[in-house]
Structure 1
Amino acid sequence: MNPDEPTNPKPPEIHKPVLPQPAIPVQPPPLEPPVPENADIRTLIEALLRRPHALAQHLANPKNGATPKFALISLISLLLFGIVLGCFAKHEQLWAAPLKIAAGLLISGAICFPSLYIFATLAGSRIQAQQLAACLTGALALAGLLLLGFSPAIWIFAESTNSFGFMGALGIGAWIIAVFFAFKFLKQVIFSNGGTQRAPLTIWCAVFLLVTLQMTTSLRPILGRSPTVLTQEKKFFLEHWSEYFAENLPTTVTFTEE
């Protein structure tokens, strides 16, 4: 017996085959609770902000009854936002600005509704006119709620600055952001009713945005004061903006030597 050899040799290692681990099933996202049939204004506001997909299914019902409630939400929101803009010039603008903004945007929605029905049909949607009216008023209500959310910040600048250009850009910027989310909601509802083409809806969104911007020029003044409540001069909104900034921006700079 060789003394160098170990007395208790180790048994050979046995490698167990590595079995594939079972895949962890992916849990689907929880379904949004449906919107009640006779939803009140508070429920509709909560659905607009938190449950757009469930609200889209609710509006698919022709008897949803949401159109007048959405119209009331948008009217109150736009009036309050207009009061905030009216605080910039005060005086008669405290009542004129909210009336102009609310009336202008609601009239723009009514003007563009027939073309929305045509473009929604071209997009492949099977939505009915009554349902589409509820969708459009819902989009305007969402835009109004977003503008209402911007109102405290805009009010701070309305009370602390005299710059017409900055306040105008601030108001138009808030409207563009609000209308972007309104368009997103409108597309969700139309696509949930069979729509497949995005191009027709994108064209309509651009037309609606141009109409609202032109309406702000047609109903001017909204920020500043004027001897008349409404102007009779016809102008394209880009022309009006360019002329205004050309008149109010400094054209010459004077340097002094010390």
Structure 2
Amino acid sequence: MRLLLLFPLLQVLYALDSNLIPKSSDDNSPCKSCKVLVESFEKGLDRTKNDHFGGGNTAWEEKNLLTYSNSEVRFVEIHDSLCTETSKNQDMCFHLSGEYEHHLKEWWTNGRKEDLYQWFCINRLKVCCPPKYYGPDCLPCKGYPNVCNSHGTCKGDGTREGNGLCKCNSGYSSDNCDQCANDYFAIIKNETLTCKKCHKSCKNGCKDSGPKGCNECKDGWVYTDEINGCVDINECLEQGVCTSEHFCFNNEGSYSCLSK
């Protein structure tokens, strides 16, 4: 009986506690939120770099500027304004600044000898990885150090997520983005691959640029010779393409019947 009476109270407490936890979203990953917090702290450092305790004369201010630079007063001023200048990831930024204030204070009192992002996000909270590394163990991305042949991005790059495989840029394909995708042709210069898009008249790929590089011509185009390659067919020259109530307008690879 007592358990039945307590159950509604437990539900209320759980609901209240759940509301205290920031809701996550696709662009609210722990690493990205940590980056936002670090960027906000660095802005605070820049904003307060010429501040001081205040005094009656310039000599006093100059003498005490170095003291202020490493003071707890300056830390509090920076910490109290964290996340206020950003709109993205703000809830998580506020959450991290409150939850891990002691870590930030530790970095501050130890003389700020290490890069804050490296110390806080990568080493301490372990929510990020160095660039070109991914996953829980910060493993090197595919093709490291020339990740994805410089023609793609590593899935999870710089985070504790992803699988390290390549997401190729437009025009590139294969596991390491070292081949050209369909409808692209390869140019190799100084052992560097560049993939260029085939001409719009090409069907089933091409071997070179322009309409003369096509393997085949698309419908609405016809191959003439090696000099011109695939040339647009002017369907409007044919009889009866459009009704008498319309006139024919030729488009590249097609045509349109427009009202008179």
Shorter-normalised TM range? under 0.3
The answer to which structure has the higher helix fraction is 1
Q: Structure 2-normalised TM-score?
A: 0.25
The higher-RCO structure (CA 8 Å, 6+ apart) is: 1
Report the structure number with the largest CA radius of gyration. Answer: 2
